[in-house]
Amino acid sequence: MSNTVENTPDRLAEDFVAFAVEAGVLRLGSFTTKAGRNSPYFFNAGLFDTGAKLKRLAQFYARRIIDSGLRFDMLFGPAYKGIPLVAAVSMELASLGHDYPWAYNRKEAKDHGEGGTLVGAPLQGRVLIIDDVMSAGTAARESIALIQSAGATAGGVAIALDRQEMATEVVDGVVRDTPHSAVQYVREQLGMDVCAIATLADLLGFLSTQASPELAAHLPQVQAYRDRYGV
């Protein structure tokens, strides 16, 4: 389900973009993406690196998740960035009267103690995956497989930012653009709902209406990037 319609103001998304820029998490300039694209912006959720920033981020996630109407029984955070995210979001949801079990996975299985790769509540029912962004949908597929192997159902994904751009795939050793975004792939091919706190369209709206002159100067580059790689 889509949470933001272009050209329609979304106050939660606007506030989140402003917060991410102020926190230095959403940066404007010139950056090379994992796909090799020259991007005029960069989003690094790892820079929500203080207690206050992480708490504020969790508040945005919780409000978006509640507003989305997604049905789920528990939360899951894929290693590694999803681990602090799922912990913080579960606490914020609980503070709002929505107390859910949560779990996360390890990259390497333990052969002592409780063993295995899963930590926390047992995976069961409909599981909502908490992550930062989607680049190619690979992490989502891995999480879905892990959830299904435990006998549960992947019920949706909540992310901070939908880049709204073409994903890439490797064919015969060559990286090429796909006609869909990672979010569209998860929705259409994997049949899962995705809710995002904000999108690239929201960043464009922020730059055109709320940003300082210094930040607004980046608008043409971000719009050009959207025109070139957007879906």
DSSP 89-109: HHHHHHHTT----EEEEEEEE
Single out the residue of 140, 136, 134, 180 nearest to residue 160, CA to CA.
134
Among candidate residues 35, 116, 131, the one with its CA nearest the CA of residue 79 = 131
CA 31 to CA 33: how far, in whole Å? 6
State both tokens at 96.
Answer: 């709002």
Cis peptide leading into residue 80 (ω within 30°)? yes
Give long-range contacts, CB 8 A cutoff, 24+ apart: 2-10: 3/64, 3/67, 3/68, 3/195, 3/196, 4/162, 4/196, 4/198, 4/199, 4/201, 4/202, 6/201, 9/205, 10/198, 10/202
- Is residue 110 annotated as a catalytic residue, yes or no? yes
Is 112 tagged catalytic?
A: yes
Catalytic residue of the set 34, 81, 107, 112: 112
Catalytic residue among 55, 110, 180, 218: 110
User: Where in the sequence numbering do the catalytic residues fall?
Assistant: 110, 112
